[in-house]
Each structure stands twice: as structure tokens, then as C-alpha cells.
């Protein structure tokens, strides 16, 4: 049982390049989230999904797109990377409705945009 995994772990991009971050969970969780974490700031929600085939915008969605074609995978895409997107990206999942509360996090992807 691997939990939540993320690939890649590190990436350096040039401004304007595109990439996709993959999040996978093997816990059969319904809800999945993409966050970014920047120094001195709390985790900020980019996009989330409440089930296969559904996605919704979070607090900071601009410049990102997501897809959830399979229940276990949640992809985050950057179409044209900008230096402001330099951050650590975390994926998280939660089993579903009450009484489930704990979000399980992946190990993170450290992205630098030059």
C-alpha cells in the first residue's frame, strides 16, 4: 500500500514550457486535491476533485488545469510555466464524507521555473 505518490519529485522548467504532475493514490479515496506551498504562506488549494470525472477550482487556479479520468489519478498541468509558479506542489486525498477527516499527502514535487 503506497498511499499517495507524486511524480516527478523535482523539476526545473524554463518560462513558457509545459509539464504535467501526476498524483496517484491506492486507497480508493473519492476526494483529491492539489496544493501549492510557498515560504511564509499556508497551503493554497489550486484545484480539487470530488470523484472520477469531476474537477473544481480552488483558491489559486489560474495557470493550472487538472483532470481526473481515473479515480486513482489526479493530474495537474501547467500549460505555460511562469516564475511565479515556482513552488512545492502537494497532492492530497481523503476517503469521502463523514466521519472521514484525515487528508493524506503525497511527498511533494519541487518545481523551479527559470
Partner 1 sequence: GQNIDQPTEMTATEGAIVQINCTYQTSGFNGLFWYQQHAGEAPTFLSYNVLDGLEEKGRFSSFLSRSKGYSYLLLKELQMKDSASYLCAVREGMDSNYQLIWGAGTKLIIKP
Least distance in angstroms from the C-beta of 98 to partner 1: 9
Binds partner 1 by CB under 8 A, chosen from 21, 25, 48, 55: 48
Contact region for partner 1 (CB under 8 A) — 17-25, 63-71, 77-85, 105-113? Answer: 105-113
Q: Please, which residue, 19 or 50, has the CB nearer to partner 1?
A: 50
Q: What is the DSSP string of 50-75?
A: SSTT--EE-SS-TTEEEE-SSTTEEE
58 near partner 1, rule: CB under 8 A? yes
Residue 54: burial class (beta carbons within 10 Å; 0-12, 13-18, 19+): exposed
Pair 63, 85: CB distance under 8 Å: yes
Q: How many CB atoms lie within 10 A of CB 83?
A: 11
Q: Please, which residue, 41 or 69, has the CB nearer to partner 1?
A: 41
Beta bridge partners of 19: 78
Under the rule (CB under 8 A), what is the footprint of partner 1? 31, 33, 40-45, 48, 50, 56, 58, 90, 94, 97, 101-108
Amino acid at each position: 500500500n503506497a498511499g499517495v505518490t507524486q511524480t516527478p519529485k523535482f523539476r526545473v522548467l524554463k518560462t513558457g514550457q509545459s509539464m504535467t504532475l501526476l498524483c496517484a493514490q491506492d486507497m480508493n479515496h473519492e476526494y483529491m486535491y492539489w496544493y501549492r506551498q510557498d515560504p511564509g504562506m499556508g497551503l493554497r488549494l489550486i484545484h480539487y476533485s470530488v470523484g472520477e470525472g469531476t474537477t473544481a477550482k480552488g483558491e489559486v487556479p489560474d495557470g493550472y488545469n487538472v483532470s481526473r479520468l481515473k479515480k486513482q489519478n489526479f493530474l495537474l498541468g501547467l500549460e505555460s510555466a511562469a516564475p511565479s509558479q515556482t513552488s512545492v506542489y502537494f497532492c492530497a486525498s481523503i476517503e469521502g464524507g463523514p466521519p472521514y477527516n484525515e487528508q493524506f499527502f503525497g511527498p511533494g514535487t519541487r518545481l523551479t521555473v527559470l
